[in-house]
Structure 1
């Protein structure tokens, strides 16, 4: 049963249309009467409609010298919804019971959630041919959306934008970052670009698949037989990637993940300390081996909520009712499987060159990883960072780490090190979903990334169902 949020009635109050609040939109836009939330659609291409949702922080401080930042959150998948998962399950103002989240990232920034690429979440296409087929096409659509949001609004232009990504979202983030740099330099986009943060990001699939077997063998989740099976498929994936057979590599990745799950007796791909049925966010539905891998990573939408419902019911029920502008014939997540299939040829392509280019351009790049993640294991992340050609990588390697603390208990919660515009965070005790597993240290990290000014005292309520 869905509970009321902040005492507000579930029968929703009339919404104030904000067609001119953030510039002139050709598409529907709406928001709350107090202006704390705005949402809408942007037609980024013919027949391709992208949904966005912006929250303005009640903790906002703007002292001029340290402007209040905006975080653009990019979910992974491909096909996972930032408006749903990132918002209600990870960092937004309300949790899946529609209660205030104590660890919301609104304490440090305004939050912009986008259902990216088109076809994800509430975003939709009128023709399957309009789905993106590459990370660069996704970046072009996101750039078009940001032009619509930022170019006509001086208030947003004063706020530095930080692109924070999770999982496959990291591949979107680096291609988007390059697109933003070019658009800003060309005078096509009025935006202060603060940098990108790559959280447990699928930047180099080859390095991740080679990390799974040895890591799980050391953890006693695989024996020597399981390790040999895993490494054999990983070698096949390497050969396919090197020969440009990316679609075949995607199929082999699915095969490898199924072998890992079977040989380990269902280790959770998002937290290797757990069995998959124990993870609070990842998909729990048991299916045929290929379907397990494809659907788990493509959507991870099947988690049960404390209220007894599921995320799909929440987003297609009360939330769709609140937003009002979602077309009646479109459902949240209705096209998500199509998104993954359309990107099948790009899924296993590495994006190391893009990270190098961002670093060489002077863009701030932060990499953070949960200690107990498996799908994007720290072992794999460290391996691809060592492959970067940017000259500062060797300096980063020789730099000593600084421990991270939180909660005032004196316990080590992580480590960090930096060299120039490259920063790395190791988050202890966290799996794939760092803000969920370690909310305190995630907020601390966010504050350091965005250099957020000290937050003002503000009411706990940052959002409601009004």
Structure 2
């Protein structure tokens, strides 16, 4: 060949084309919109385990050198609920599930990062079910790996504080992820600023929630004395709640999860199918919030069955979103054809069933003692993660500021020109609590105005 340098060039190019994609398999290869406001892609967080993320850059961004514009990482519940689908289109994203602009989008206060986590959730997938995580710590390591891939090579992202905001089981996930992030930052493996963690109706201490379901519903006239006794009836020689406590104490965590499912069924049958996500409603009521769907009694009983064979993660919501997420959105994001949104969520739940009932109160203490800002917010009419249960686990914290926090008065919150009380809040040092009135499990959907104000406080977003 007359031009050896050109031959070398061709060889190098061929090597790059063949080898580099495999070498970069674990890196965040992103696609973006023409305006640069949206980025998304997959990260191979482990061999053959692929996690999907979607980042929105806020068009409302305010440039203030003293207050960097924040990023919110939203974690959905479940485990197995899709952040990319449910959190995005049902709660806080720029568009609702009809693809109309949402006036209360949290983009007004921060950039948004939605991640389908753990792998197997939503658009995230594994090539072998054995690769699904079995513990919260494994899930936290995976998500930390994704953050390393996204942030370490992007100095723009590194300038913005990251706030991990969560809902339901996502709160439990947020605690373990938060600790993993703190350790990775300290070890200089992860380059980001952790602004804080917010736990919305978080499944932090399962036993504190299951113990109050029946008494709370009795106080609300949703069940009577007979229903209360049924919830405490003898099964295999123990009351249900006591049985769950015994199973947890003896390390029978999968059995405790099954007993939890049985207890939910008893509550449902004794209350004429109360909505676990808003005790002011029936689960089959035709007049629902935007986060629930009319379901038959049979479907609801199956949903809380001990075998957990139906899709556990908000079946009504999932059904509503499936045409959208498997249609126009899937096409836009160029999701692999074999990935069907929501199909994997039940596998994720079952895989984590051995960790589902484990509490993470001590881990919240670790975060507080490390100086991390921790916010708890709770919808007044939620049942599954009721405020009474949340207050119970908060009182178990060993954090040295707890007594002072409990003794100080709350401050009421309003919204705009409306002088009706929307919420109460109080803070001491790096611990903050919001009681959101007339909201169930899905605070941003049920009370969008005050939720937006709350997240502005949490993230200290620059004022417009």
Given that 2:178 and 2:367 are in contact with CA atoms closer than 8 Å, whether structure 1 keeps it comes out as yes
The structural deviation recorded for 1:297 is: 8.1
SS of alignment partner, residue 453 of structure 1: coil
**Distance of 1:235 and 1:379 partners within structure 2:** 19
- 1:426–1:27 Cα change, 3 Å: closer
Given that 1:24 and 1:152 are in contact with CA atoms closer than 8 Å, whether structure 2 keeps it comes out as no
Residue 303 in structure 1 maps to residue 317 in structure 2: yes
Residue 383 in structure 1 maps to residue 392 in structure 2: yes
The answer for the alignment partner of 2:45 in structure 1 is 44
The structural deviation recorded for 1:25 is: 6.7
TM-score scaled to structure 1, two decimals?
0.89
The answer for the alignment partner of 1:461 in structure 2 is none
SS of alignment partner, residue 314 of structure 1: helix
Residue 321 in structure 1 maps to residue 331 in structure 2: yes
Residue correspondence of structure 1 range 35-434 to structure 2 within 5 A = 35-231=36-232, 232-278=239-285, 279=288, 280-282=290-292, 284=295, 286-287=298-299, 289-292=301-304, 294=308, 298-303=312-317, 310-324=320-334, 326-434=335-443
Residue 444 in structure 1 maps to residue 444 in structure 2: no
**Distance of 2:320 and 2:391 partners within structure 1:** 35
Question: Structure with the greater relative contact order (CA < 8 A, sep ≥ 6): 1 or 2?
Answer: 1
SS of alignment partner, residue 418 of structure 1: strand
The answer for the alignment partner of 1:11 in structure 2 is none
**Distance of 1:218 and 1:296 partners within structure 2:** 31
Given that 2:27 and 2:149 are in contact with CA atoms closer than 8 Å, whether structure 1 keeps it comes out as no
- Number of equivalenced pairs: 429
The structural deviation recorded for 1:29 is: 2.3
SS of alignment partner, residue 122 of structure 2: coil
The structural deviation recorded for 1:266 is: 0.5
TM-score scaled to structure 2, two decimals?
0.90
The answer for the alignment partner of 1:5 in structure 2 is none
The structural deviation recorded for 1:281 is: 2.1
Q: Kindly provide the CA deviation profile for residues 14-50 of structure 1, in whole angstroms up to 9, marking residues without a partner as x.
A: xxxxx9xxx9974642121111000000000011100
Task: Compare CA radii of gyration and give the structure with the larger one.
Answer: 2
The structural deviation recorded for 1:317 is: 0.5
**Distance of 1:297 and 1:247 partners within structure 2:** 18
The structural deviation recorded for 1:241 is: 1.5
The structural deviation recorded for 1:290 is: 5.0
The runs of 5 or more residues in structure 2 that have no matched partner are 1-19, 233-238
Q: Kindly provide the CA deviation profile for residues 166-224 of structure 1, in whole angstroms up to 9, marking residues without a partner as x.
A: 00001110000000000001110000000100000000000000110111001111111
**Distance of 1:113 and 1:329 partners within structure 2:** 21
The answer for the alignment partner of 1:16 in structure 2 is none
The structural deviation recorded for 1:407 is: 2.9
SS of alignment partner, residue 245 of structure 2: helix
The structural deviation recorded for 1:114 is: 0.3
- 1:27–1:357 Cα change, 3 Å: closer
SS of alignment partner, residue 304 of structure 2: helix
**Distance of 1:368 and 1:183 partners within structure 2:** 26
**Distance of 1:89 and 1:213 partners within structure 2:** 29
**Distance of 2:117 and 2:43 partners within structure 1:** 12
* More off after superposition, 421-430 vs 24-33: 24-33
The structural deviation recorded for 1:288 is: 7.3
The runs of 5 or more residues in structure 1 that have no matched partner are 1-18, 456-466
**Distance of 1:203 and 1:45 partners within structure 2:** 27
**Distance of 2:405 and 2:312 partners within structure 1:** 33
- 1:413–1:27 Cα change, 3 Å: closer
